[in-house]
Amino acid sequence: MKLTRKDFPEDFIFGTATSSYQIEGHAFGGAGRTHWDDYAATPGNVSRAEDGGRACDHYHRYPEDLDLVAAAGFDAYRFSISWARVLPDGRGAVNAEGLDFYDRLTDAMLERGLAPYATLYHWELPSALADLGGWRNGDIGDWFADYTEIVMTRLGDRMATVAPINEPWCVAWLSHFMGLQAPGIRDIRAAARAMHHVLLAHGRATQVMRGLGMGGLGGVFNLEWSNPADDSEASRLAAARYDGIYNRWFMGGVFKGEYPAIVLEGLEPHLPSGWQDDMALISQPLDWCGINYYTRKNIAADPRAPWPSLTDVPGVLPKTYMDWEIYPEGLHDFLIRTAREYTGDLPLYVTENGMAAHDDIMAGECRDPHRIDYYEKHLSEVARAIAGGAPVKGYFAWSLLDNYEWSFGYDKRFGLVHVDFDTLARTPKGSYHAMKAALTEAGR
């Protein structure tokens, strides 16, 4: 990698990110069942019906994993806390072993000089709450607030930053309209409710943490560039609807207290009554904004389909193993647009960015020049956004380890570190060594 730390401001934070269900091994330590266990147990949802029962066994191997993070020269580690590990039924009895685990994990980060960047929900809803309607039930704001209070009463004094919810679009739209993640629902009314309740829960958790006297509170949004697939006015409008649903709904709700009209057009009839009364809570001030960025979509109008009457068509750019187009400019454009239109001077972090590949070990080594190139191109766009005035304060590579890529199972490898899912051996890839060289003198 040609870029190094020196190409970024002195206080710029480099980190790497993971999430609980994707790496910990949810069968260990008394965690409760989650809707991902149920989704994976239903034929046809997940490749090879794989689940997160063992995953990378980070639950037992976290010291070794954090050693790898520290040795690469990262400043911070973005991790998540599993609701069902702390509260197996989502409410009521606490699993002391679960809270103890996150306590040990936090201290292990601090001992290695890594700043803990926590997320409270990265998709593993306790099944007992899914039984009550999960994200469709407006009570989830209070359930999530209670869980937040339990976790942060214990850990809050040691967190550098906290985001309540990872990628609200995935929690709501991908999972309740497209049906491609747990709970796998395809229903516009369920989707509309989830779209609102996920932000209500964000607001309630933020309120609770402020009440505990905490700072460093933000939100993490996955943004996807919406590119009209052709020059027609119909496709331009379809792309604007896609941008509205994917990006502007959440940015507008959280940073302006309003939802975009182009989305309300389709969703308002299905929102819970009195939704307007929640907007002040949803848009209370934050300390930073996180952007997860991977790709763009090419959107065309599909006038025969009901609202939002659009479809995505394959693009011409080189693609990752997820079949996602590689479009680094989108990261620059989102950083600039977010600061200009939504967040002003608020610190921005790239909280996830990375690519999947089919990485093999050969002669004891895992070479992934494609991934080094991906990181280099995206980091260049971050540097360009900073030069253009966007207040970007940090960048987190997704992901530390090959892990459970949700409905794709263990086949899509995103890690800087290769994981052999039979032996669980960790092998740092070429991209890990390149990062280390960019971040430390020792790695050069």
Give the count of residues interacting with ligand GCO (CB under 6 A).
11
| Contacts (CB under 6 A) with ligand GCO, residues 390-409 | 398, 405
Assess 222 for contact with ligand GCO (CB under 6 A): yes
Rg of the chain in Å (alpha carbons): 20
Assess 167 for contact with ligand GCO (CB under 6 A): yes
β-pairing, 115-121 vs 218-228, is unpaired
Binding mask 111-150 for ligand GCO (x = CB under 6 A): -----------x----------------------------
Q: Cβ–Cβ contacts within 10 Å for residue 411, how many?
A: 14
Binding mask 49-68 for ligand GCO (x = CB under 6 A): --------------------
Residue 292 Cβ vs ligand GCO, minimum distance, rounded to whole Å = 5
Active site residue 167: yes
Calpha distance 46→181 (Å, rounded):
9
Helices (H) and strands (E) in the chain, counts: 17, 11
Assess 181 for contact with ligand GCO (CB under 6 A): no
3-state secondary structure of 277: helix
Name which of 85, 210, 203 is nearest 144 in CA terms: 203
| Residue 430, Ramachandran bin (φ over 0: left; ψ between -120 and 50: alpha; else beta) | alpha
β-pairing, 392-398 vs 13-17, is parallel
Binding mask 351-370 for ligand GCO (x = CB under 6 A): -x------------------
Q: Which residue's C-beta sits nearest to ligand GCO?
A: 167
Both tokens of 201, joined, read: 């829960």
Residue 123 Cβ vs ligand GCO, minimum distance, rounded to whole Å = 7
State the number of CA atoms in the 13 A half-sphere of 175 facing the CB: 26
Binding mask 4-43 for ligand GCO (x = CB under 6 A): ---------------x--x---------------------
| Contacts (CB under 6 A) with ligand GCO, residues 226-265 | none
| Contacts (CB under 6 A) with ligand GCO, residues 319-358 | 352
Burial class (CB in 10 A: 0-12, 13-18, 19+), 424: middle
Applying CB under 6 A, among 16, 95, 148, 166 the residue interacting with ligand GCO is: 166
Provide the annotated active-site residues. Answer: 167, 352
Contact positions toward ligand GCO, by CB under 6 A? Answer: 19, 22, 122, 166-167, 222, 292, 352, 398, 405, 414
